[in-house]
């Protein structure tokens, strides 16, 4: 699947040069500011076009014009080829603005993508206000498409023929075209465009279709039917209007690219921008750069992706602030046309790809992915009545609204806490949520901003999100079955059932699964607690764990159906010697799952044990900080593991797993490990700093098999708690059920 390089001279010939001087770079391009090669030259060598959406007015800005020419090989008219601009009256077309953009592109050896022939927005009033019959509207659409495409025949290489024809749930969007003509308007639009210019490459374009979601599933299925009917659809564009705080699931995007490629389609990233919250400073721009980097890696890796277009060039001219209050700075160049971290990230990716130095390869074959999070266990019931004695309760542990600190303090735990358990009977999931919340909010207009429970289930490429606001049943959704939920009077217990029409018995099945408990004590959600780490994008069908229906002769498949996110280790600028040197960095995660109790993995109300951890790395050293809250510290037991302690389990590559134990107040116990290792507690026994020397340097993106546990023994006889960040069977000391740590 990896892109094949084309010779540099050929690349320059194909896409032109900045100044038209036989492929030579201008002095401006070779200046210190542009120490690396311009994006269009790098991209051309891996058969990738790099583009921007523009308006004719932008070209009057000399800086904009120069930057566009020097960095980009393709343009998309941002608005001026849309229906209301080129067809302002029923019997009159106006191509003046579009012609100006096309002339500019041809003059500077740029490829043009026309946008968009059919859309439900930015249509002229004469069209929207008309009372058209089906035959009349078909004639209008045919005339529009054929006139526009014929006008630009031989000049516009690609067309977004139909834009945003599906709603967010995967149904057909209610538009003037769908209401009057029916779904066949999509097929007709492609056929008419092809008749007008048989050489143009025709695309369907939409937003929120980059990954494996209900909407992208609908697009995939429908485009597949069109291809089978011989309709000339040649590509699918995904817009990729993203936010800096929400990571891109490259595995999900990659899987979608590969299934579209199986249909013989080309893929375009058509409207890329990554908006940043106004109050976010350098950290927001760094997150933005990571999103651009992820997309660039995918575009560089897959030959099927041959166009990467940003929706604008500079933050000086961006639609984001006007549409998304509190957001801006979405592009690779700032208002003064200076390169942002996002630009440099994309440039690095393309440079590595051109040099053949990239080691990036997305994980798409989930059957070969090693399971590093154990499935949650759903036991079988003898009836469809919930039985608390026959479920495993798990904690809501990770506050995914806070990416860098997903823990709750003891004070926050008094405000919101909860646990959940799921069982099954025949074709029904039967579950319960137990909730403790000092303030219940249910009167916000936005459903997700109220106190609620959300349940996420994935079967194959389909997923469903079930939401219940406290005191209410599940909100209605399109689901092939029946889902019901009921709260008790004080909102402390929620019982639910999810019944699947397509199953007679769930025994042995493994579903993609997640569950969240939302808390809102103010103007917006304060907390969104999950049993897994992640980025709060379950509503997009991403980052699910697994739910296994246990029963007689039922065995968990060796092939996971869903791969949740891994934990992250931050890269440190230098070697460190104390916890204080990691206070401002790192991802902080909770200890949450008591693996000593296979019936209830939560901490019992009233038991004072709580902890969190974070990890960083430098060269071949792994560093960690553990914070611990415990009302009684026991360190006098003869067997070390029966004392209050921390255990760290580390396996790098194919090397043997090593277990490091530190009883509170003591260094790590001596082991046969050949590297250096040390542990240092503060005087109160509330904080541990540790350092472990690994066999080889840790590389960015490297995954390390890992686990960490916090042990508590209050009665002096045996451990009461062995808290891990994941569910399991307390067998990490055997090298089993390790989770994963990713070097950021």
pLDDT in tens, 418-431: 999 999 999 999 99
Identify the burial level of 242 via C-beta atoms within 10 angstroms of its C-beta, where 0-12 means exposed, 13-18 middle and 19 or more buried: buried
Which tokens hold the place of 585? 């960095």
pLDDT of residue 246: 77
pLDDT of residue 25: 46
The b/e string for 64-93 (b: 16+ C-beta within 10 A; e otherwise) is: bbebbbbbbbbbbbbbbbbbbbbbeeeeeb
**How many domains is the chain partitioned into structurally?**
3
In the predicted model, what is the mean pLDDT of residues 265-280?
A: 95
| Residue 230 zone, left/alpha/beta (φ > 0; ψ -120 to 50; rest) | left
pLDDT of residue 524: 67
Q: How confident is the model at residue 715 (pLDDT cuts 50, 70, 90)?
A: confident
Domain with 695 in it: 567-743
Which of 40, 38, 17, 39 has the alpha carbon at shortest distance from 29?
A: 38
Instruction: List the CATH number of the domain containing 396.
Output: 2.60.40.1190
Q: How confident is the model at residue 5 (pLDDT cuts 50, 70, 90)?
A: low
Whether pLDDT at 578 is above 70 = yes
With pLDDT > 90 as the criterion, what percentage of the chain qualifies? 78
Could you read off the pLDDT of 436-459 as tens digits, one per residue? 999 999 998 888 889 999 999 999
Instruction: Establish whether 164 is a catalytic residue.
Output: yes
Do residues 582 and 545 share a domain? no
Do residues 28 and 119 share a domain? yes
Asked if residue 556 belongs to a domain, the reply is no
The torsion of the CA quartet 304, 307, 310, 314, rounded to 10 degrees, works out to 140
Catalytic residue among 78, 164, 187, 499: 164
Instruction: Establish whether 325 is a catalytic residue.
Output: no
Q: How confident is the model at residue 11 (pLDDT cuts 50, 70, 90)?
A: very low
Asked if residue 1 belongs to a domain, the reply is no
Whether pLDDT at 1 is above 90 = no
Packed helices 184-196 and 134-151: angle between N→C axes, nearest 10 degrees: 30
Q: What angle do CA 65, 70, 74 make, to 5 degrees?
A: 80
Distance CA 129, CA 90 (A): 12
pLDDT of residue 19: 34
Whether pLDDT at 559 is above 90 = no
Do residues 249 and 291 share a domain? yes
Which tokens hold the place of 389? 């004695």
In the predicted model, what is the mean pLDDT of residues 637-643?
A: 92
More confident residue, 471 or 363: 471
Q: What are the backbone angles phi and psi of residue 723, rounded to the nearest 5°?
A: -90, 125
Distance CA 483, CA 500 (A): 9
Distance CA 38, CA 72 (A): 8
In the predicted model, what is the mean pLDDT of residues 594-615?
A: 93
Which tokens hold the place of 403? 């990416």
Q: Give SS3 for 137.
A: helix
Contacts of 355 (CB under 8 A, 6+ apart): none
In the predicted model, what is the mean pLDDT of residues 36-59?
A: 97
Catalytic residue among 78, 80, 271, 293: 271
Do residues 227 and 122 share a domain? yes
Identify the burial level of 6 via C-beta atoms within 10 angstroms of its C-beta, where 0-12 means exposed, 13-18 middle and 19 or more buried: middle
Do residues 607 and 537 share a domain? no
Do residues 42 and 54 share a domain? yes
Do residues 31 and 150 share a domain? yes
Whether pLDDT at 722 is above 70 = yes
Neighbours of 316 (CB within 10 A): 16
Asked if residue 521 belongs to a domain, the reply is yes
Distance CA 259, CA 461 (A): 12
Do residues 328 and 424 share a domain? no
Whether pLDDT at 6 is above 50 = no
Which one of 233-247, 521-535, 680-694 scores highest in mean pLDDT?
Answer: 680-694
Global model pTM greater than 0.85: no
């Amino acid at each position: 699947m990896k892109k094949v390089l084309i010779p540099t001279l050929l690349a320059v010939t194909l896409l032109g040069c900045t100044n038209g001087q036989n492929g030579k770079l201008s002095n401006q391009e070779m200046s210190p500011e542009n120490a690396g090669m311009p994006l269009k030259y790098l991209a051309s060598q891996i058969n990738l076009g790099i583009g921007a959406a523009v308006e004719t007015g932008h070209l009057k800005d000399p800086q904009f014009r120069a930057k566009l020419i020097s960095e980009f090989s393709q343009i998309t008219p941002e608005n001026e080829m849309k229906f209301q601009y080129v067809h302002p009256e029923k019997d009159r077309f106006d191509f003046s603005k579009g012609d100006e953009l096309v002339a500019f592109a041809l003059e500077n050896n740029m490829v043009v993508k026309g946008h968009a022939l059919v859309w439900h927005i930015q249509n002229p009033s004469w069209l929207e206000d008309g009372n058209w019959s089906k035959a009349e509207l078909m004639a209008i659409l045919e005339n529009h498409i054929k006139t526009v495409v014929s006008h630009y025949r031989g000049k516009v290489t690609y067309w977004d023929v139909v834009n945003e024809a599906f709603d967010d749930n995967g149904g057909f969007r209610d538009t003037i075209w769908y209401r009057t003509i029916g779904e066949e308007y999509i097929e007709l639009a492609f056929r008419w465009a092809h008749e007008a210019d048989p050489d143009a490459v025709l695309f369907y374009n939409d937003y929120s279709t980059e990954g494996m979601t209900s909407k992208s599933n609908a697009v995939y299925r429908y485009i597949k039917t069109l291809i089978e009917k011989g309709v000339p659809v040649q590509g699918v564009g995904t817009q990729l209007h993203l936010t800096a705080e929400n990571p891109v699931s490259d595995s999900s995007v990659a899987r979608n690219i590969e299934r579209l490629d199986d249909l013989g389609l080309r893929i375009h990233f058509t409207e890329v921008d990554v908006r940043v919250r106004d109050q976010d400073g350098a950290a927001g721009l760094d997150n933005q750069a990571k999103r651009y980097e992820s997309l660039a890696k995918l575009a560089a890796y897959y030959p099927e992706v041959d166009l990467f277009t940003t929706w604008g060039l500079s933050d000086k001219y961006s639609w984001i602030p006007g549409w998304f209050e509190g957001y801006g700075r979405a592009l690779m160049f700032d208002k003064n046309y200076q390169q942002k971290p996002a630009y440099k990230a994309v440039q690095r990716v393309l440079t590595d790809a051109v040099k053949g130095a990239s080691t990036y390869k997305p994980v798409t074959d989930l059957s070969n992915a090693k399971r590093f999070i154990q499935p949650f266990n759903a036991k079988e019931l003898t009836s469809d009545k919930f039985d608390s004695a026959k479920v495993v309760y798990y904690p809501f542990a990770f506050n995914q609204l806070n990416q860098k600190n997903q823990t709750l303090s003891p004070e926050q735990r008094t405000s919101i806490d909860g646990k959940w358990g799921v069982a099954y009977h025949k074709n029904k999931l039967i579950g319960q949520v137990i909730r403790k919340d000092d303030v219940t909010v249910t009167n916000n207009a936005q459903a997700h901003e109220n106190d609620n429970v959300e349940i996420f289930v994935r079967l194959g490429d389909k997923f469903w999100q079930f939401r219940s606001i406290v005191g209410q049943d599940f909100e209605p959704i399109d689901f092939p079955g029946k889902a019901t939920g009921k709260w008790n009077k004080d909102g402390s217990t929620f019982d639910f059932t999810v019944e699947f029409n397509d199953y007679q018995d769930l025994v042995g099945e493994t579903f993609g699964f997640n569950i969240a408990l939302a808390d809102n004590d103010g103007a917006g959600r304060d907390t969104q607690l999950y049993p897994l780490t992640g980025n709060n994008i379950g509503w997009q069908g991403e980052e699910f764990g697994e739910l296994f229906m246990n029963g007689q002769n039922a065995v968990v498949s060796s092939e996971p159906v869903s791969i949740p996110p891994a934990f992250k280790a931050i890269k440190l600028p230098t070697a460190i010697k104390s916890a204080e040197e990691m206070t401002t960095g790192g991802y902080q995660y909770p200890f949450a799952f008591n693996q000593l109790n296979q019936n209830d993995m939560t901490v019992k109300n009233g038991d004072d044990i709580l902890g969190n951890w974070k990890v960083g790395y430098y060269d071949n050293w792994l560093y960690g900080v553990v914070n611990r809250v415990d009302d009684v510290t026991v360190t006098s037991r003869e067997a070390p593991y029966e004392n209050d302690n921390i255990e760290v389990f580390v396996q790098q590559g194919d090397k043997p797993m090593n277990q490091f134990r530190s009883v509170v107040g003591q260094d790590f116990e001596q082991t046969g490990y050949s590297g250096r290792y040390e542990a240092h507690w503060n005087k109160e026994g509330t904080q541990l700093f540790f350092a472990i020397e690994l066999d080889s340097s840790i590389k960015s993106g490297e995954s390390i098999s890992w686990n960490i546990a916090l042990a508590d023994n209050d009665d002096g006889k045996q451990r009461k708690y062995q808290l891990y960040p994941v569910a399991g069977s307390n067998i990490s000391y055997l090298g089993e059920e390790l989770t994963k740590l990713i070097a950021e």
